[in-house]
Structure 1
Amino acid sequence: MRDIVKDYLDGLIPRRAFMKRMSQAGFGVAAAASALKSLEPLARAQSGQGARGQAQTSVNSPAGSLTTPFEGTGGELLAEQLRAAGVKFLFLGNGSGLGSLCDALLDRPDMQIILAIHEDHCVSIADGYSKASGKPGFVMFSRVGTPHATANMYNAMKDRSSLIITSDHAESDREGRDGLEDIDDWLETVEQFTKFRWVVREPERIPEWTMKAFKLATTMPGGPTYLRFPRDILYKKKVRAGIYSSGTFNIPMSLRPSPREVEQAARILLEAKSPLLNVGYEVTASGAVASVVQLAELLAIPVTQSTSWGADFPTTHPLFLRSSAWRYPETIDAYLNIGGTMEGSASDGGGRLRGAKIIHACVDAGHLGTAYPVHVALAANIKETATALVDAIKSMATSQRLTQIRESRLAAAEDFTKRMRESAESIARRQFDRVPLTWECLSFEINAALDRDAYVVEEFGTEGPKSLQWFPFAEGEKTKIGRTTGYSLGWGVGASIGVKLARPDNQVVCLQGDGGFLFGQSEALWTMSRYDVPIIVVIFNNRCYNETRARMYAQGGRQSELKKDMLSYLGDPNVDFVSIAGAYNIKGEQVQSREQIKAAMQRAVKATRDGRPYLIDALVERGQSGAEAWYP
């Protein structure tokens, strides 16, 4: 879809060709027409026209124009365009190539630099900010730092995060000579991790390409974009260009689903005896949680969560199955995946979905029918889709029939989810007084000490469900951000900084494994300390990588047979995380019992109320057979 949009906005295809190619990509007529309508303002802005084909006022004349004339250095042009785009924070790394932009920012105190000392953290901080604010995050770092940033660029692409990532570039007269900090093709190195990438070679087009990067990053399905600016064009003086107004960046992708496909999907759900609804990241990204809840409640459909950086359905809801999804319902005759990818493959016969009628709804048509063949594909905005399905179902059945379906199914689902939760909690509570701490006890006490509406930024692996079940994620309750669907470690601590900048009035806690923290995350504490970002960082320290061990043991090889894990033990040395925090002037403490974590959380909360971060190194059990303190 992004290629179709790009070709249309670049004037390479007319309206009729746009509609035809959208249809070929799997979009219904209504969805394609809705997309075309939303793109018209930007198409006019880029073509320099009013109504398509009619001349518009020159950028040198503000009357009736979508741009404002400006003259300055290339760096000032970039700063002015960022200001017009509503950028408040610039997540920057150190590099002399940023000099012209920094010169411009000295005269623009309304825009704040947040400096990180590692390029990967520039990206993770911006990603956390974007996820928590719903706004794009702007990043810039030295060109030679690009390889450092690619791990979290990959994470951002997997999550379809709205990031605009930039760097300087070799001077125009030196490019391509294998010179200092240069290679033949920098764009190729990030192609898989970006939705769009470009080298801006004309100084007067800096606003244009910046605007395009914002537009593509924020138009669903989003994704990071990447721009490079040769140093000489950033420092060039007396450049005249038009600054695009903020409205040109907003492309609402309220694509409506095809009524025919909606009717077909609604009939499948209405006639199903044992349906299942699976939610994914697009539910949260499109602001559709309430609409999806309404859809689930209408027919009392049990709900599962696919891999996602958010909690896309209230975890306290009686229809939400948590980690017991593989056990209930026993059979599935209709499966609605709304806003997520179809994980796995149908090549094994479909697994639990064997024989089920599959409905897949997402705005990214590229995901439809790729892993599983589907009976109904809905390429549209998730909020629009959920609302349309609710309306269609109500139009097909009487209130009495809907009540009968809902009541019988809801009772069974409520009974199952209640029994599973009570059983899990009962087993966990029996071990709350163990030393070192269990994951469950530690998480229970953290949740008890936090504000009701706190933000929880997590980067857990296989042990995550043990922890996260104790946090209620729902409207009016806590908000979950993380782990990334990319699963590349080294994201969480930086992301929590961005979340707090986006949500200054909410408490923020960062939950991190010791292994994940050791993926170069201590440097993020520098930024946290410099800018007094009051976050509680809790390291679940079992001195090992449980996820790596679990996956290797699951293969049944020699390591599993002998219970000798060759890679995952992280003790010897036992890392002193409290001292690491102290090196950045952040207070902290180590705990290993229930009473200690209660007191530590009180001190942590007080520290953040006083405007400073706090780190807790919590020793937790390894919790796996064959997880001894051994290494070759």
Structure 2
Amino acid sequence: MKLNGAEILLESLRREGVKTLFALPGGVVLKIFDMLHQQKDIQVILTRHEQGAGHMAEGYAKATGKAGVALVTSGPGMTNVITALADAYMDSVPLVCISGQVPTSLIGNDAFQEADNVGLSRPCTKYNFLVKDVNDLAQTIKEAFYIATTGRPGPVLVDIPKDVSMNKADFVYPSSVSIRGYNPTYEGNKWQIKQAAEAIMKAKKPILYVGGGVVFSGASQELLELAEMTQIPVDMTLMGLGAFPGEHPLSLGMLGMHGTYQANMAMHYSDLVIAIGARFDDRVTGKVSEFCPYAKIIHVDIDPTSIRKNIHVDIPIVGDCKTVLRELNQLLRATVNGEQKDLRKPWWDQIREWERAHPLTYQQDPDGAIKPQHVVKRLYELTKDRDPIVSTDVGQHQMWAAQYFKLAKPNRWLTSGGLGTMGFGFPAAMGAQAAFPGRLVLCIAGDGSIQMNMQEMATAVVSKLPVKIIILNNRFHGMVRQWQDLFYEGRYASSYLDTTPDFVKLADAYGAVGLRASKVSDLDGVLKEAIAVDRPVIVDVPTYQFENCYPMIPAGGCNHEMILEDPPELKKKQTGAHKVTPEDKDTVLTA
């Protein structure tokens, strides 16, 4: 029996195990939505904006390890989802985006709501397809999921013209895919792995530098075995958080621009860097010419183009993190002994000294303004036994969450790394909540970022996604203000948000729950109340407005050249300043 293109699409999605679709309709995809309306196997979550749909699909993918799926219409629908595709591309998130297109006969004629979807998405997708014949649709969907989820994961676009969704063809779904020119390497070179094992055995000051590739390859257990067997300290990137237990004695926390002092110092002074599933981006390397000047570097990555792209590598290993680590561990098990622990004792003594000298710290006055670090720390302490999924937006709050919320397991951390997309956190949390209805999902946001996709609160309420949003509200674009204080003589150009809404009333307007903790003594009770409610919640926490996020490596600086606290002139300026109001804004901004 022949099926129309919309039916072929839905049956193909079923064959790929898709249970949830994040979507917003439009003219050229109405046939697809009509078919979706007549079935019950795939849940359709109607978003209020296509960017929200894309970020929800990302959150779903990061939390499950499976491809997230978004469905948008042509023209503005496609242009709205581009930000999410670019975000997924930078962070290697498996995502399949299905876009509608004008009928094939009108492509190139500037038809109503026409856009060059393939051209628009080419720079920010792993691959994209324009389906011109309904007979090719099933094969294309199979290839799209295969490309999105294999090798280095990433977003794939499938552009479906209106007539293709309506025309009929025999449905034949392929059992496998073979694409000429695309054959990801999973097995690492055995000689290179042997070289890596030998280098690890000899190293006196080794460091494990772990990225998001460990999470997506499911290699956390193999990483834990390697670290414990060799007693090598572990640094994690922003995307790698959760790949290794945050409270483990071998964990040094996050490294990079706002990483811990010990993580950055250990990286700089190491004699062997073992990079696994990381890409040596600028937020980690700092000044490239002075990055790890004493170290030999091993780099394990499934993407050969990531190796030696930014940093010279001595032992490159192209392969899947899980597969390579299994073989590496097998080699090391036969040779590791107590000598390595003794060999590295001075290294660990030095690391513990760095930890004692400059730990992550803040001062919370019980009667003063609430410090944002205190909010994150208390949220962590109150929820860690619940094994929550934690999403963040982008800015200071994101870095404080990375520093103080210690993830124990992978796939619990949802954040925008490479693109740094404000507005990512809330819809990503909703995507994770859709995947795991019974789990506690937290979104740590700033008052600037949350407004980027605030409209999705309607989606959360209607779709019964009880995400808990904790807003660290300082009425600033906080990270912008921090840079303006440190590097632009305190000129707050377009960073002060003097029209921040009443988030409690806003939550109520959407039919959600709005709470506020204005005093330190209120915080625990409000957080507990939010966690207990089985509805979407906004917790508004007015925080000290001038708190800065440290440690900080200034742009172009070296990893061991961290700013650890406010300079004296900045401390003097901020003394006694707890609140900026519209009435005294001009005075404060020129202080």
Q: TM-score range by the shorter chain?
A: 0.7 to 0.9
Query: Are 2:287 and 1:357 equivalent residues in the alignment?
Result: no
Contact 1:309–1:484 (CA<8 Å) still a contact in 2? Answer: no
- Cα distance between partner residues in 1 of 2:42 and 2:407: 32
Where does 1:210-289 land on structure 2 (aligned, <5 Å)? Answer: 210-236=141-167, 238-245=168-175, 255-289=186-220
1:443/1:468 contact within 8 Å kept: no
Aligned to 1:51: none
**Structure-2 separation of matches of 1:201 and 1:240:** 16
Of 373, 380, 384, the match for 2:323: 384
The amino acid that maps onto 1:165 is C
How far 1:331 moved relative to its partner? 2.2
1:409 is displaced (CA, Å) by 4.8
State the partner residue of 1:29: none
1:479 maps onto 2:422 in alignment: no
Q: How many Å apart are 1:248 and its aligned residue?
A: 5.9
SS at match of 2:71: strand
Once residues 285 and 237 of structure 2 are traced to their aligned partners in structure 1, the CA distance between those partners, rounded to angstroms, is 16
Say which of 265, 271, 278 aligns to 1:327: 265
Cα-to-partner distance string for 1:49-105 (whole Å, 9 max, x where unaligned)? xxxxxxxxxxxxxxxxxxxxx522111111111111111111111212222112222
1:168 equivalent in structure 2: 100
The 2-side partners of 1:231 and 1:182 are apart by 11
Q: Distance in 2 between matches of 1:528 and 1:257?
A: 43
Equivalent residue, structure 1, for 2:373: 440
Distance 1:329 1:314, change over 3 A: same
**How many Å apart are 1:309 and its aligned residue?**
6.2
Residue type at the aligned position of 2:404: W
For the structure 1 residues 479 and 418, does the alpha-carbon distance in structure 2 shift closer, same or farther, using more than 3 Å as the test? farther
**1:139 corresponds to 2:66:** no
Give the structure 2 partner of residue 294 of structure 1: 225
Q: Which residue of 2 aligns with 1:336?
A: 274
Select the residue among 497, 501, 514 that pairs with 1:570: 497
Per the TM alignment, residue 614 of structure 1 is displaced from its structure 2 partner at its CA by: 1.1
3-state secondary structure, aligned to 1:214: helix
User: Counterpart of 1:13?
Assistant: none
| TM-score (normalizing by structure 2) | 0.86
CA gap of 1:265–1:617, structure 2 versus 1, over 3 A, is same
The 8 Å contact of residues 315 and 473 in structure 1, kept in 2 or not, is answered as yes
Preserved contact between residue 171 and residue 231 of structure 1 (Cα < 8 Å): yes
Q: Are residues 308 and 385 of structure 1, via their aligned partners in 2, closer, same or farther at CA, if it must alter by over 3 Å?
A: same
Contact (CA 8 Å) 1:522, 1:580: kept in 2 or not? no
Q: Which residue of 2 aligns with 1:156?
A: 88
**Correspondence for 1:49:** none
Residue type at the aligned position of 1:567: S
1:507 aligns with 2:440: yes
Q: CA deviation at 1:123?
A: 0.3
SS at match of 1:165: strand
| 8 Å contact kept, 1:203–1:239 | yes
- Structure 1 unaligned segments of length 5 or more: list them: 1-69
Work out which of the residue numbers 324, 328, 342 in structure 2 matches 1:404.
Answer: 342
Q: AA paired with 1:466? A: W
Verify: 1:613 aligned to 2:552, yes or no: no
Q: What corresponds to 1:119 in structure 2?
A: 50
Name the structure 1 match of 2:461: 529
Q: Evaluate the alpha carbon distance shift between residue 161 and residue 581 of structure 1 in structure 2; reply closer, same or farther with a 3 A threshold.
A: same
Whichever residue aligns with residue 357 of structure 1, its letter is K
The one-letter amino acid of 2:369's match is P
TM-superposed CA distance for 1:526, in Å, is: 1.1
Give 3-state SS (helix, strand or coil) of 2:29's partner. Answer: helix
User: Deviations 1:497-529 (Å, cap 9, x if unpaired)?
Assistant: 11111122321111111111122x111111100
Say if 2:65 and 2:411, in contact at 8 Å, map to a contact too: no
Give the AA of the match of 1:506. Answer: R
1:369 and 2:302 correspond: no
Equivalent position of 2:470 in the other structure: 538
1:594 alignment partner AA: V
Partners in 1 of 2:485 and 2:513 — Cα distance?
Answer: 38
Aligned equivalents of 1:314, 1:417: Cα separation in 2: 20
Q: Within 2, Cα distance between the matches of 1:453 and 1:590?
A: 24
- Once the two structures are superposed, residues 422-456 of structure 1 have per-residue CA deviations (whole angstroms, 9 ceiling, x without a partner) of x53xx53x415243311122123222332431111
Partner amino acid, structure 1, of 2:234: V
Is the alpha carbon distance of 1:349 and 1:614 closer, same or farther for their aligned partners in structure 2, counting shifts above 3 Å?
A: closer
SS at match of 2:511: coil
Q: 1:549 aligns with which of 461, 466, 481?
A: 481
Aligned residue in 1 for 2:564: none
Distance 1:87 1:354 in 2: 47
| SS of residue paired to 2:98 | strand
Q: Any idea what SS the aligned residue of 1:197 has?
A: strand
Contact 1:196 1:224 survives alignment (8 Å): yes
- Is the contact made by 1:160 and 1:222 (CA closer than 8 Å) also made in structure 2? yes
Larger Rg: 1
What residue number does 1:33 align with? none
Q: Secondary structure at the match of 2:173?
A: strand
Q: 2:114 maps to what in 1?
A: 182
**What residue identity is the alignment partner of 1:281?**
G
User: 2:519 aligns to what?
Assistant: 593
For residue 4 of structure 2, what is the amino acid of its counterpart? T
SS in 2 for 1:114: strand
Question: Can you list the C-alpha shifts for 1:3-23, whole angstroms capped at 9, x where unaligned?
Answer: xxxxxxxxxxxxxxxxxxxxx
Mapped contact 1:84–1:244 kept (Cα < 8 A)? no
When residues 494 and 192 of structure 1 are mapped into structure 2, their CA distance, relative to the original with a 3 A threshold, is same
Partner SS for 2:251: coil
Range that drifts further, 276-285 or 503-512: 503-512
Matched, 1:101 2:32: yes
What CA distance in whole angstroms lies between the structure 2 residues aligned with 1:599 and 1:307?
30
Change in CA separation of 1:103 and 1:329 when aligned onto 2, cut-off 3 Å: closer
Secondary structure of 1:499's partner?
helix
Counterpart CA distance in 2 for 1:191 and 1:172 is: 19
Question: What letter is aligned with 1:72?
Answer: L
CA shift for structure 1 position 242: 0.8
**CA spacing shift, 1:411–1:214, aligned 2, 3 Å:** same
Q: Deviations over 1:149-193 (max 9, x none)?
A: 11111111111111110111111221211121124x331111111
**SS of 2:448 mapped into structure 1:** helix
SS in 2 for 1:190: helix
Q: Secondary structure of 1:484's partner?
A: coil
Q: Distance in 2 between matches of 1:391 and 1:233?
A: 51
Contact 1:582/1:588 (<8 A) preserved: yes
User: 1:98/1:310 Cα in 2 relative to 1: closer, same or farther (>3 Å)?
Assistant: farther
Of 514, 517, 522, 2:450 maps to: 517
Shift of 1:482: 1.6
The amino acid of 1:522's aligned partner reads: M
Which residue pairs with 1:470 in the alignment?
404
Q: Aligned with 2:269: secondary structure?
A: coil
Distance in 2 separating the partners of 1:478 and 1:218: 15
Structure 2 segments unaligned to the other structure (5+ residues): 254-259, 549-569
Per-residue deviation, 1:217: 0.6
State the alpha-carbon separation in 1 of the partners of residues 340 and 146 from structure 2: 42
Check if 1:314 corresponds to 2:245: yes
Of stretches 277-286 and 311-320 in structure 1, the one that deviates more from structure 2 is 311-320
Q: 1:552-572: per-residue Cα shift (whole Å, max 9, x none)?
A: 444x3xx32xx222121112x
The Cα RMSD (Å) is 2.6
Contact 1:203 1:234 in 2 (8 A): yes
Separation in structure 1 between the aligned mates of residue 205 and residue 240 of structure 2, nearest angstrom: 28
- Once the two structures are overlaid, the 10-residue window that deviates more, 535-544 or 579-588, is 579-588
Q: Is the 8 A contact 2:219 2:321 kept in 1?
A: yes
> How far apart, in 2, do the equivalents of 1:592 and 1:524 lie?
25
Partner of 1:459: 393
Q: Is the 8 A contact 2:401 2:444 kept in 1?
A: no
